[in-house]
Amino acid sequence: MKDSLVLRSRIQAHPDSRCWFLAWNPTGTLLASCGGDRKIRIWGTEGDSWVCKSVLSEGHQRTVRKVAWSPCGNYLASASFDAVTCIWKKNQDDFECVTTLEGHENEVKSVAWAPSGNLLATCSRDKSVWVWEVDEEDEYECVSVLSSHTQDVKHVVWHPSQELLASASYDDTVKLYREEGDDWVCCATLEGHESTVWSLAFDPSGQRLASCSDDRTVRIWRQYLPGNEQGVACSGSDPSWKCICTLSGFHTRTIYDIAWCQLTGALATACGDDAIRVFEEDPGSDPQQPTFSLTAHMRQAHSQDVNCVAWNPKEPGLLASCSDDGEVAFWEYHQPAGL
Amino acid sequence: MVGGGGGSGGSGRGGLLENANPLIYERSGERPVTAGEEDEQVPDSIDAREIFDIRRCWALAGRWGLGSLFLHLAHLIRSINDPEHPLTLEELNVVEQVRIQVSDPESTVAVAFTPTIPHCSMATLIGLSIKVKLLRSLPQRFKMDVHITPGTHASEHAVNKQLADKERVAAALENTHLLEVVNQCLSARS
């Protein structure tokens, strides 16, 4: 495990503030960061160093909690504690706020674009998940308000290829939603975590979902379709989700984020014990009961809590992380030999 | 910020502390300072301690150069004002006891407070005030846990969960009205 995760560089992205979240653009050339200073910064490389290309500072009145790039890379959405989601349009190095999505009653905790680019999801402390449709004229319309969770919703993420939405909540559950007729419905509730679920990540195939929690565990869930070979019961035509693996005993504090590399399958976690960990599925492990091994453990990756980890979508092994100390760090992950 | 003047007692090395307005600490007895602690040559480890005694704090503070840290921890917890009354929480019997556990090498602080009124709706606000004071007083490397003493409150799980959620705490503190109330709780008595 020695040297499997190597620091490439560190930048003070949000001075005197915490950096809450990071998002790579689809081509992996830009990294957006957001934080408690209410700003969004866009970072790009110039030679060997990372430089700030743009600062988006007039968009929000309060902390910006998450940012997300559209699949085409021309838009950036930002979710804020001011209860508003901003949509920014990119024009070279400039970003212009073209729309604000309002409606949530209080802090917006997450925003995510569907792979099609036509749908956006947001979630809030008001316990709801909103689905928005966007048309060719950049008009946004809320098409569904989903109030299935009983508490603060922390994160939303879309399935990589299907129009399936997942949400994580302070109510200790994960919920899945799909479109049914004209509306969206909750089609599954994943129970098992013993405290707040902070984040979610689908694997490259979309068959598995990883969740991380304040209970200091990571759970891997697998989708079973009706009529599956394993005999997992499904109700009606909806797939069932079963917890097939729990990673416990590795993290000593709340796990705030999890990221599943779409290129290599490696799983990275951001933890409140200031560490970054990487896990890989053991070769030859049973798909119905997989085992994962810890392949990297960077203690003191940051001087305070790690809030986010993000794999670069184009460069295998390039991982970005950010922290309560306001810094963003870039790492190179090398899969240990023998895997 | 020390509420209501300096500490009381203090017959340790530094002599009596001048104090026109001694804090009222009737409820918690004072632990005797041991010979080992008084001897400057014997190293004193900072490990988990149940209750901070003012004289002990003062003795340790000078030795470790963490004066303001430990002195404040004891003073501040006991001197947090009830938002509706000018007296301290302890004087009002709203908080019966405060247990502080500190591990300097592990950079952790755990504070357990006991609201005496089981259905006290102020429990979250008291806990938040303690949390804010710790956040403002301690070095950033410290991990802070503030919770209700187990078994002493009807909604302790719900209150503890909120206090442990840093996103909820951060969002709450961006609410100017709530921040004002918290600051009032933490301000020195006039």
**For residue B24, what pLDDT is reported?**
31
User: What single-letter DSSP state applies at residue B80?
Assistant: P
Residue B14: pLDDT above 70?
no
Please say whether the beta carbons of A62 and A93 come within 8 A.
no
Chain B closest-CA separation from residue A36 CA (Å): 9
Mean pLDDT computed over every residue of chain A: 96
* pLDDT (tens digit per residue) in B129-170: 889 988 888 888 899 999 998 988 888 999 999 999 999 999
* pLDDT (tens digit per residue) in B68-127: 344 445 555 666 666 666 666 666 555 656 678 888 888 898 988 887 666 555 788 888
**For residue B68, what pLDDT is reported?**
38
Whole-angstrom Cα distance, residue B6 to residue B13? 16
User: What single-letter DSSP state applies at residue B182?
Assistant: H
* Residue among A19, A63, A64, A155 with most chain B CBs within 10 A, to mutate: A63
Inter-chain residue contact B140 with A325, CB threshold 8 Å:
yes
**For residue B123, what pLDDT is reported?**
84
- Rounded to the nearest 5 percent, the helix, strand and coil shares of chain B are 35, 15, 50
Residue A323: pLDDT above 70?
yes
A-to-B residue pairs, Cβ atoms closer than 8 angstroms: 35
Of B140, B164, B170, which is closest to A304 when you measure between CB atoms? B140
Residue A162: pLDDT above 70?
yes
Minimum Cα–Cα distance from A64: chain B residue: B171
Chain A residues whose C-beta is within 8 A of a chain B C-beta are 18, 36, 62-63, 65, 81, 106-107, 109, 125, 152, 154, 170, 195-196, 214, 253-254, 272, 303-305, 324-325
* pLDDT (tens digit per residue) in A176-224: 999 999 999 999 999 999 999 999 999 999 999 999 999 999 999 999 9
Element (H, E) at A131: strand A129-134
Q: How many CB atoms lie within 10 A of CB A42?
A: 22
Whole-angstrom Cα distance, residue A235 to residue B62? 67
Least confident window among A61-70, A313-322, B12-21, B44-53: B12-21
Inter-chain residue contact A63 with B164, CB threshold 8 Å:
no
Of B143, B166, B171, which is closest to A107 when you measure between CB atoms? B171
Please say whether the beta carbons of B2 and B17 come within 8 A.
no
Q: Got the DSSP string for A196-244?
A: -EEEEEE-TTSSEEEEEETTS-EEEEEEE-TT-TT-----TTS-EEEEE
Any CB–CB contact under 8 A between B141 and chain A?
A: yes
Neighboring chain A residues of B143 at a CB cutoff of 8 Å? 253, 272
Partner residues linked to A241 by β-bridges:
A223
Neighboring chain A residues of B165 at a CB cutoff of 8 Å? 170, 196, 214
* Residue among A152, A169, A256 with most chain B CBs within 10 A, to mutate: A152
* pLDDT (tens digit per residue) in B19-37: 222 233 333 333 444 444 4
Of B161, B166, B171, which is closest to A81 when you measure between CB atoms? B171
Any CB–CB contact under 8 A between B136 and chain A?
A: no
Neighboring chain B residues of A63 at a CB cutoff of 8 Å? 170-171, 174
Task: Please state the rounded mean pLDDT for residues A248-273.
Answer: 98
pLDDT band at residue B178, thresholds of 50, 70 and 90?
Answer: confident
Please say whether the beta carbons of B189 and B88 come within 8 A.
yes
Chain B closest-CA separation from residue A303 CA (Å): 7
Partner residues linked to A108 by β-bridges:
A124
Please say whether the beta carbons of A101 and A140 come within 8 A.
yes
Percent of chain A with pLDDT over 70: 99
* Residue among A38, A81, A172 with most chain B CBs within 10 A, to mutate: A81
> H helices within chain B, ranges in order?
35-38, 54-64, 67-79, 123-137, 156-164, 166-173, 176-186
Chain A closest-CA separation from residue B171 CA (Å): 7
Partner residues linked to A169 by β-bridges:
A153
* pLDDT (tens digit per residue) in A228-239: 888 888 888 888
Any CB–CB contact under 8 A between B170 and chain A?
A: yes
pLDDT band at residue A264, thresholds of 50, 70 and 90?
Answer: very high
Chain B closest-CA separation from residue A304 CA (Å): 6
* pLDDT (tens digit per residue) in A103-160: 999 999 999 999 998 999 999 999 999 999 998 888 999 999 999 999 999 999 999 9
Task: Report the predicted TM-score, pTM, of the whole model to 2 decimal places.
Answer: 0.85
Two tokens, residue B13: 């090395």
Give the burial class of B34: count Cβ atoms within 10 A of its Cβ; 0-12 exposed, 13-18 middle, 19 or more buried: exposed
**For residue B102, what pLDDT is reported?**
83
Element (H, E) at B50: none
Give the burial class of A72: count Cβ atoms within 10 A of its Cβ; 0-12 exposed, 13-18 middle, 19 or more buried: exposed
Q: Helices B123-137 & B67-79, crossing angle to 10 degrees? A: 160
Which of A177, A190, A162, A45 lies closest to A122 in space, CA to CA?
Answer: A177
Least confident window among A34-38, A103-107, A306-310, B27-31: B27-31
Residue A333: pLDDT above 90?
yes
Minimum Cα–Cα distance from A107: chain B residue: B171
Sign of CA dihedral B165, B171, B175, B176: positive
Instruction: Give SS3 for B112.
Output: strand
Instruction: Give SS3 for A38.
Output: coil
Of B140, B165, B174, which is closest to A196 when you measure between CB atoms? B165
Inter-chain residue contact A304 with B141, CB threshold 8 Å:
yes
**For residue B23, what pLDDT is reported?**
31
